[in-house]
Structure 1
Amino acid sequence: MPQEKPDLRNLAEPVRFKRALTLLLMTLVLPGSAQIAAGSKRAGRWAWRVIFGIVAIIVFLVLLSLVWRSGTINLLVSPKTLRLVQILLILLAIGWAALFVDAYRLGRPLTLERNHRLTASIVDGVLVVLVMSVLIYGSTIVSAQRDFVASVFGNGQKSKADKGRYNVLLLGGDSGADRIGTRPDSITMASVDAETGRTVLIGLPRNMAKIPFPAGTEMAKQFPHGFEWKNCGHDCYLNGVYTWAMGHKQFFPGVKEPGLLATSQAVEGITGMKVNYYVLIDIAGFQHLLDAVGGITVDVGKKVPIGGIGGPIKGYIQPGRNQHLDGYHAMWFARSRAGASDYERMTRQKCVMTAMLNQLSPQKVLTKFQAIASASKEVVQTNIPAGELGTFTDLALDSKKLPVSSFSPVPPLIHTGDPDFALVRTKVAEAISKSEALDKAASDGNGKKSNTPSKAPTKPATSGKPTGSPSKPSTDVDDVASICKA
């Protein structure tokens, strides 16, 4: 014969109090367990099914990431997936809170003494607020991620790796009230090995003249003999290509940003390499992004002015090792031209890029994600499609393990006023070959490339350590960590 449940009033009051707290803690550790033990077993089983389903999905994603990391990242950053996760987190918050309320009811609070009933009520309320706050906060992070992906990354066309490399044009756009439009004063091509992530930074002088363009492009039709003053005025340098194209949009029907297209074609003409994607960063707003990540630590090789060139010098970034720079000072460290050549500034910018690559750990990005996402929407513009985020995140993680090489076509090797572009392309090809040789030396027995750091010409940078600035530019293929020293 079925037996009736014992009357809890027959238990000692301290025992009833411990029972009520235990049910709440059981719900915290394993939602649904309180219902299985003392309430509706059906409700408890449904809660367990949900938990085990979530655990199974997490385990599946972890295993998938081991064999297909880029695909897993692409799946996780998809706006549809993020929307689903956001809704799921909100539902979990509501469901878990309901289980706490039910566990409190199962503890029979009316059978407890006043002080014990008050304690149980407070514990239940704290746990409800704690769990809901964590899950709702998680949903806001997911929402920020979804908004970030939708705002910065689009549905552009996927560009296949060219000769085993992704070439991403990094532009630092300097716009302001005293300038007409945006002028990319920082122009760097990041050539990334599509398998290992090993990267070569090719820094291009903003004052490079007589720029050739690939045959068949609109810019080549407009400037068959290169970007010369006879055709474009007295501002016919590499950083003026963007401004010219934006002022002549009639030659680029259907193109939203002709300046970016023209600049990409200019870089292709200079280097002889295909540009897969571009990333344009507003230097004036760059400080907000760096503030969001807590700044960077660099070695400053010489005193760097803050301001100057059209305005007063407001101060200096003092030389020294392990200088921690906030967004404002890091921006001027990369941007300052007073008392320095363009080539020195180019190398400082490489140092900033390398510092960010080495010092921005996934943990830091995660903990500061909302601030980073908010700042990035304001300062970053790119044509990298959202579907390629996994690919480049995967490569970035590999790249952190390897030294970054660099090459700059600057004097005395290259005269920027009348460049020998055949020599530039030869040196670029040599830089790429030298970088790829390091991967070949590290190949495994199956002939596949390895992202294990191989013996490099100089000591590579390590994550978290400062990156500094040089006083002299380098035209050779060097480990950037060896260049950026005080």
Structure 2
Amino acid sequence: MAGKERDFGTGESVGLTIGSALLWGVAHIATGRQRTGFALMTVYLVLVAVIVTLATAFRGQLLSLAVRPSWLMALTIAIAAIAVIWSVVILWSFWLVRPAASGRNPAAATAGLLCLMIIAPSAWATRLAYVSHDVVSSVFSATTSTPVVSMDPWSGATRLNILLVGADAAANRIGVRTDSMTVASIDTVTGRTTLFGLPRNLEQAPMPKGPARDRFPYGFTGEGPRTPGLLNEVYQYAENHPEVVPGVRSGHRGPTLLKETISGILGIPVDYYAMVDMAGFAEIIDAMGGVKVTIREPITYGRHSEGVLPAGTRRLSGEDALWYGRSRTNSDDYVRMGRQKCLLNAVAQQADPVTLLNSFERLAGATKRAISTDFPQDLLPALMDLGQKVKRTHIRSVQFVPPLISTAYPDWDLIRETVADALKDRPKVAKPASATPSSTPNAGDAISLDDVCG
């Protein structure tokens, strides 16, 4: 029996339409369609129960699925389908309980508003799922060279070593220079992380076996008289000389040779790399709404000392954060390396889910432009789980800088011994009373970034 036949008033029609939006089937039962009404209620309650269960009991698994392209596409379709079905139920309910002609406008407006309240957030969620799919598919490798074991994604490895590269392709230089090189060594069980920082000006870096070592048997010396042969030139040299990394396509030769070179320097395997364009890094920080750091001493920046970052705890914009991590005015490469570690630590600690969600599309766009990596998509869920463990620990840092290491005549054996000591089960963590990112750490000590950065 239609609402018109039952002679529903405007208030009743509005109430039943709202009730049907909150619990499917209310309007159908009110108009005598018991079987249809209870069927809709059952479907609705099952759907709500599934969503609540997934959001509570399986929250961790949901976060992992959120970085799987196939699941993201399925989520996009599911959200859109639910929004359409919900809107159809609302309009169907209104039609059944529509009042006399004189009262239809308010009731119809209510039904339309309810549909909008369902469609708008669903469209937003669908958009986020689509953007996530796009970012994961664009940035991360679709395949992995080794099979992923579901029970142990790291295939028995006790540590995951990722090379973090800050690249600077300035207008006044040819190609890309990897001015910031840090290996994050992460315990796959506890999440305890040690950062190993290598200065850009390390000379005569030993090359991996093969064509690269054949060309540079006594260490990397660069292109010739016009280049000093520093570690930060290895990436671009490989891109310019395919023969030293045979069988690797353009864009991947640089990361491949740099990973192998740094692996040999540190004496540990480098599993994957992630390279961030420095200008793009500033975009990411702006999308986060800035990053809060403690500046111990004023930092002068700019090619002509045109600016100063005052001392104190403050929130830096992307541009200011870039200068914080890059400036060498009145300091040196090693001081800058310390500040870069503090900046990485601050970004990692402050990238909370609410911040990321509020600026998701801006972050997604900046990430696509700024980051390149060979990390495979099928390991992303495990990496997210590991990332949560890392955030609950204190990140430590070892920098291979003077006086521990001479950049002109590095002691490669000492570097490897220091790395091995730092990665022991219970490494001794130095906590100097006046440690700051503007001071050179004690030789060989693993310094807690929380102590150093404030």
TM-score, with length taken from structure 1: 0.84
Partner of 2:240: 247
Residues 4-48 of structure 1 deviation map (CA, whole Å, 9 limit, x = unaligned): 999533x7xxxx233212222222322343334436543762574
**Identity of aligned pairs, percent?**
31
- The corresponding residue for 1:34 is 27
C-alpha displacement of 1:219:
2.1
* Rounded Cα–Cα distance in structure 2 between residues aligned with 1:53 and 1:118: 31
Report the Cα distance in structure 1 between the residues aligned to 2:374 and 2:334, rounded to whole angstroms.
Answer: 28
Tell me the distance in 2 between the aligned counterparts of 1:222 and 1:232.
Answer: 16
Question: Given the alignment of the two structures, is residue 408 of structure 1 paired with residue 399 of structure 2, yes or no?
Answer: yes
Is the partner of 1:299 in helix, strand or coil?
A: strand
8 Å contact from structure 1 (residues 303, 319) kept in 2: yes
* CA apart distance, 1:243: 1.6
- For residue 386 of structure 2, the aligned residue among 395, 418, 429 is 395
The SS at the match of 2:248 is: coil
Aligned position for 1:8: 6
Q: Secondary structure at the match of 1:354?
A: helix
Q: Is the 8 A contact 2:299 2:324 kept in 1?
A: yes
- Secondary structure in 1 aligned to 2:205? coil
SS in 1 for 2:260: helix
Counterpart position of 2:309: 317
Q: Is the 8 A contact 1:286 1:327 kept in 2?
A: yes
Instruction: Give the distance between the partners of 1:158 and 1:52, measured in 2 at CA.
Output: 41
Structure 2 Cα separation of the partners of residues 348 and 151 of structure 1: 30
**Structure 1 residue 206 corresponds to structure 2 residue 200:** yes
Query: Counterparts of 1:60 and 1:127 in 2: how far apart (Å)?
Result: 25
What aligned pairs does 1:49-448 form with structure 2 within 5 A after superposition?
A: 49=43, 52-53=46-47, 55-56=49-50, 59=53, 62-64=56-58, 69=60, 73-110=63-100, 114=102, 116-157=103-144, 160=154, 163-214=157-208, 216-228=209-221, 234-256=227-249, 257-308=252-303, 312-320=304-312, 322-433=313-424, 436-437=425-426
Tell me, yes or no, if the aligned pair for 1:74 and 1:388 is still in contact at 8 Å: no
Contact 1:211 1:270 in 2 (8 A): yes
Cα distance, 1:414–1:289 mapped onto 2, change above 3 Å:
same
Structure 1 residues 83, 229: CA separation in 2 closer, same or farther (over 3 Å shift)?
closer
Contact 2:164 / 2:275 at 8 angstroms: preserved in 1?
yes
Provide Cα deviations, 1:207-266, integer angstroms capped at 9, x if missing partner. 01111133x343222222111369686321110111211110133233132111111112
CA–CA distance in structure 2, aligned partners of residues 163 and 383 of structure 1: 18
- Structure 2 letter corresponding to 1:481: D
Q: CA deviation at 1:49?
A: 2.2
Q: Which amino acid in structure 2 is aligned with residue 339 of structure 1?
A: N
SS at 2:132 equivalent: helix
8 Å contact from structure 2 (residues 3, 95) kept in 1: no
Q: Which amino acid aligns with 1:316?
A: V
Return structure 1 stretches of 4+ with deviation > 6 angstroms: 3-6
Q: Distance in 1 between matches of 2:309 and 2:320?
A: 7
**Greater alpha carbon shift after TM alignment, 219-228 vs 234-243:** 219-228
Contact 1:306 1:315 in 2 (8 A): yes
Q: 1:143 and 1:225 mapped to 2: Cα distance? A: 50
Query: Given residue 100 of structure 2, which amino acid in structure 1 is its aligned partner?
Result: L
Moved more, 382-391 or 221-230: 221-230
Equivalent-residue separation in structure 1 for 2:372 and 2:116 (angstroms): 39
Of 360-369 and 399-408, the range deviating more from structure 2 = 360-369
| Pair 395,93 (structure 1): closer, same or farther in 2 beyond 3 Å | same
SS for the counterpart of 1:313 is coil
Deviates more, 1:282-291 or 1:40-49: 40-49
* CA distance in 2 between partners of 1:161 and 1:317 (Å): 46
The one-letter code matched in structure 1 to 2:305 is I
- Report the Cα offset of residue 161 of structure 1: 6.4
Give SS of 1:202's match. strand
Tell me which of 421, 437, 440 is aligned to 1:470.
437
Q: Using a 3 Å threshold, how does the CA distance of structure 1 residues 129 and 79 change in structure 2: closer, same or farther?
A: same
User: Would you say the 8 A contact 1:288–1:375 is kept in 2?
Assistant: yes
Kept in 2: contact 1:74–1:387 (CA 8 A): no
Measured after TM superposition, the shift of residue 383 of structure 1 is: 0.5
Cα displacement string for residues 393-428 of structure 1 (whole angstroms, at most 9, x for unaligned residues): 111111111111110111111111101111111111
CA contact (8 A) 1:36 1:45 kept: no
Show the counterpart of 2:150.
none
- In structure 1, the gaps of 5 or more residues are 439-454, 460-467
Counterpart-to-counterpart distance in 1, 2:134 and 2:321: 27
Alpha-carbon distance between aligned partners in 1 of 2:421 and 2:156, rounded to the nearest angstrom: 16
TM-superposed deviation, 1:109: 2.4
- For 2:162, give the aligned amino acid: V
The letter for the 1-side match of 2:310 is: Q
Q: Cα offset for 1:62?
A: 4.8
3-state secondary structure, aligned to 1:381: strand
Instruction: Judge conservation of contact 1:27–1:34 (CA < 8 Å) in 2.
Output: yes
2:18 counterpart residue number: 25
The whole-number CA distance in structure 2 between the counterparts of 1:130 and 1:79 is 28
